[in-house]
Amino acid sequence: MPTMKNFLQSSLNRSAVIILALVLMACVAVAAANWYQTRQRAASTSSTATPDTEYAQLQFVDGQEMNGTNVTLSADVNQPPAMLLPLKTISDFDATDSATTAVITTSRGPITLQLFAQQAPLTVANFVSLARAHFYDGLHIHRVEPGFVVQMGDPLTRDTTDPATLSTMGTGYPGYRLADEFGPGLSHDQAGIVSMANINADGNYPNSGGSQFFITLAPATYLDGRHAIFGQVTDGLDILEKLQVGDEIVGVAIK
């Protein structure tokens, strides 16, 4: 017959086992919750980009790409250096800085643009002036977002073809900034729309265009009123779709 001592010891052992089991169950529950949250975060970051996130990726502020998580305008950015550059308006361009056609010759082939000189005279004059000065010759594509845009025109890309280095670029300027110009009837409503990159996020930094521009690979009408459209691809969409980070702009011919 078990003694009182044995009985108490057995009870204590059972209690210890129960407590241990409860602790293990709690640990498993915490681990499961952490695993679920990790999976949710991973699913969120790998999901299809929304218009807002795609728009944010076009922006850069003070050397950082805007992605909605690494920049808080009020806390991290006082005044982007680009906003200290002189502002050019239409009066700063020669009257001959106008044209209706441009051909961007890339290392993968030519892309022909119709320029909207009537609807966007300032932005076209800026592009034509830079092209005639051979500003774009030898620059490299620094951003390709399949199904969204191809972006180019950063002077910092001239001396490198390394995709890893180029992917960090996108902050170069031609020595000035450009006033915004939103021509009537123009929309990012199809692939092949040519438009100015800028650092304007939600109205914080207007008039911040320069030399960089992007060409849409799909409709992106949520960019309307945010980026200045100045042209459209009329030939070479197949070339545009083949462009990769590191490809070269051999030259831009104005016709």
Q: Write down the catalytic residue from 60, 135, 214, 230.
A: 214
Compute, in degrees rounded to 10, the torsion defined by CA atoms 95, 96, 102, 104: -100
Q: Residue 206 and residue 217: Cα distance in Å, rounded? A: 25
Q: Write down the catalytic residue from 57, 126, 151, 232.
A: 151
Q: Write down the catalytic residue from 130, 178, 186, 223.
A: 223
Residue 213: burial class (beta carbons within 10 Å; 0-12, 13-18, 19+) = buried
Question: CA 76 → CA 33, 62, 71, 84, 217, distances in Å?
Answer: 33, 9, 6, 17, 32
Closest residue by Cα to residue 159 from 144, 142, 174, 183? 142
Q: Is 60 a catalytic residue?
A: no
Q: Residue 238 and residue 251: Cα distance in Å, rounded? A: 18
Q: Is 93 a catalytic residue?
A: no
Q: Write down the catalytic residue from 59, 198, 200, 232.
A: 198
Q: Write down the catalytic residue from 148, 166, 217, 230.
A: 148
Q: Is 227 a catalytic residue?
A: yes
Q: Is 116 a catalytic residue?
A: no
Q: Residue 238 and residue 80: Cα distance in Å, rounded? A: 36
Closest residue by Cα to residue 79 from 212, 218, 199? 199
Q: Is 113 a catalytic residue?
A: no
Q: Which residues, in sequence order, are CB contacts of 59 under 8 Å at separation 6+?
A: 65, 66, 198, 199, 200, 201
Q: Write down the catalytic residue from 108, 140, 177, 227.
A: 227
Q: Residue 105 and residue 15: Cα distance in Å, rounded? A: 80
Q: Is 143 a catalytic residue?
A: yes
Q: Is 223 a catalytic residue?
A: yes
Q: Write down the catalytic residue from 140, 142, 143, 177.
A: 143
Catalytic center residues = 143, 148, 151, 198, 214, 223, 227
